[in-house]
Amino acid sequence: MFGFAILAGAASIGVMASASSEVVPDGWCEDDHHVMIYENCYKNLISCHFLPTDGIKMIDYDAMMKGYWDFLISAQDLGTGEYSVFRASSSDDTDREVMINAKADSIASATTGFYTASFPPAYIWAVVDNEIRLYGTPETKDLKLGLGLGDYKVLEPASSDHTWSSINWYQNDDHPYLYAVDAKNNQVYQWDPISDGVETASKKLVAGNADGKAIDDDEHLYYPQGVQSMHGYIYISQLGNGEDSVNQYRVVKWEPSSTKREFKFNFKMNGRFGFLTYDEDGLLNTISYRYGDDAIYTQCAEVPDGDAVILGGGCGTGHDTNQFVNADDGVFGMSFYWGYTIWDYNADPDRFVFWPIPDVTCPTTTTTTTTTPTTTTTPSTTTTTTTPSTTTTTITTPSTTSTAATTTEASPSTTSCGKKECSVGDEQCSSYIPGSYCKYWEVPQVCSGSNMECSCDKVITTSTTTTGMMPTTSTAPPTTPFNCENGDAYCCSQYTGSYCKYWSYPSVCSGTNIPCSCDVQA
């Protein structure tokens, strides 16, 4: 899923109280770190129809999945001058397909599954003509909303009262919300289309001040630009205040509906969309950002001043080995197959580049809170105060611990190199989505690619009722669960507790980029 390369010489990061610092390690530029380059027909691995022949001006991109479809791109075709949103395959030689014949200022793939063999049909969120719309795709025509290719419903009509600059839909959340930046009023709003319906959901102010002023303090947003969400928090890029360059932006963390932000990160980033929050294999609870003209760094999302670890670049601006260019809006995203997806600005031909994922250790959950009275005595007064004491559990990658607060796709086993028998749960999950399996190590146990509950011991009764935008069940026929004991055993021998993610392409061991196969024993 993150490419072909085996991680070598991975760096680690701790939570430190020092200022955020971006440092290129000694000898970094002497080795070839990048995993792969996406451009038309690259080494016969990429579709020859991946991007328009004359190149594009990138606006925004995201990842989606239908078969081998991977990229969802909003761009201008430099050959024709036309704007569109199209999906492009990263793994088979098929033509890209136009999904929206219009200029979309921001897009987000709208699925609720993130890492599975087969995915629920994907809708597309898009800001078009200052409206927030939900577009259909060829696969969604027969679903409840009745939106096929070119069809859409309006979540938020255009209005001179707002200017929508960016949207976010966190696909891997249990219950995603739609977030949008109102650049005109220095605010961020939230909608709940799953519960309230696409055309009937009302917006809610969740960040920024009701007075709409641009002020760089704890209670306001200062010309906000982009938004990301993760674990119940939103992360908002905003203009740097008094920075040397107009292309320098800062990121603030905000709990939705709070009157104050949590904090402002110390790092500066290049491009208003040049950051990404992430919490999956390899990078748990992290925020990554474009830095300077030629690098991307990552750090923990729980602290404003964590140590920064280089993710890619850092070897000068250009398009040679270990190089790319940060420019324009700096849009930055993920690919389902390859992980971090870096658009190389001004390259000829156009291209995406990829680097292996560094090993990052970040705090992920608070497990215990107790109250301890303490007494402070001074010459004139005696004051008793109550101080909360918090115990924090730190999880490393790959994680074999699951808690109610943080769900991690951990290994099925921490004591032996084997896979628990779960044919009952696997069969039920595959009846919802072909290829889905029961993630029995999570609490609660759910099917991969959906939030449907499952059990290895019995069939879980489910409901097909929904009031929102997405179906909760599928009529797909059940399939026989796939046996990958050989691959699981091999991965476990390489990294304790790891198992073979045979449904990804290429197949890799969980928590690593080590290739695996169900046909080869360790």
Strands 339-343 and 332-335: antiparallel
Read off the DSSP letter of residue 360.
B
* pLDDT score recorded for residue 241: 81
Render pLDDT for 253-308 as a digit per residue (tens, 0 to 9): 999 999 999 999 999 999 999 999 987 655 678 899 999 999 999 999 988 988 89
DSSP string, 220-246: SBSSEEEEEEETTEEEEEEE-SS-SST
* pLDDT score recorded for residue 235: 97
* pLDDT score recorded for residue 351: 83
> Both ends of the chain: CA-CA distance in Å?
21
132-141 contacts, C-beta under 8 A, 24 or more apart: 132/156, 132/164, 132/167, 132/178, 132/180, 132/191, 134/110, 134/193, 134/198, 134/469, 135/85, 135/99, 135/100, 137/66, 137/87, 137/99, 138/97, 139/66
Read off the DSSP letter of residue 491.
H
Render pLDDT for 351-398 as a digit per residue (tens, 0 to 9): 888 776 777 777 654 433 333 333 333 333 333 333 333 333 333 332
Cα gap 308→83, rounded to integer Å: 36
3-state secondary structure 138-193: HHHCCCCCCCCECCEEEEECCCCCCCEEEEEECCCCCCCCEEEEECCCCEEEEECH
* pLDDT score recorded for residue 80: 94
Question: Is residue 486 within a helix (H) or strand (E), and if so which, with residue range?
Answer: helix 485-494
* pLDDT score recorded for residue 360: 73
Q: Are 114 and 172 in contact (CB under 8 A)?
A: yes
> Structure pTM?
0.68
* pLDDT score recorded for residue 208: 97
Ranges of the chain with pLDDT below 70: 1-20, 33-49, 65-69, 90-94, 112-120, 172, 243-247, 280-283, 336-339, 356, 363-420, 432-436, 441-444, 448-451, 461-483, 494-497, 503-506, 510-513, 520-522
Reported in sequence order, the residue ranges of 271-314 that DSSP labels E, i.e. its strands, are 275-280, 283-291, 295-300, 309-313
* pLDDT score recorded for residue 114: 40
Cα gap 423→13, rounded to integer Å: 39
Cα gap 201→194, rounded to integer Å: 9
Closest CA to 295 of 279, 278, 318: 318
Tokens 């701790």 sit on residue: 14
Pair of tokens at residue 509: 């061991």
* pLDDT score recorded for residue 246: 58
Show the CA angle centred on residue 113, arms to residues 354 and 397, nearest 5°: 55
Closest CA to 500 of 481, 515, 480: 515
Tokens 């003209």 sit on residue: 293
Closest CA to 97 of 107, 87, 82: 87
Cα gap 341→58, rounded to integer Å: 13
Number of residues that this document lists for the chain: 522
Cα gap 160→20, rounded to integer Å: 39
Q: Are 468 and 155 in contact (CB under 8 A)?
A: no
What are the structural domains of the chain? Answer: 28-363 (2.120.10.30)
- Omega of the bond leading into 25 within 30 degrees of 0 (cis): no
Reported in sequence order, the residue ranges of 90-135 that DSSP labels E, i.e. its strands, are 97-100, 106-110, 123-128, 131-135
* Burial degree of 506 (CB within 10 A; 0-12, 13-18, 19+): middle
- What residues contact residue 24 under an 8 Å CB cut-off, 6+ apart? 295, 310, 314, 315
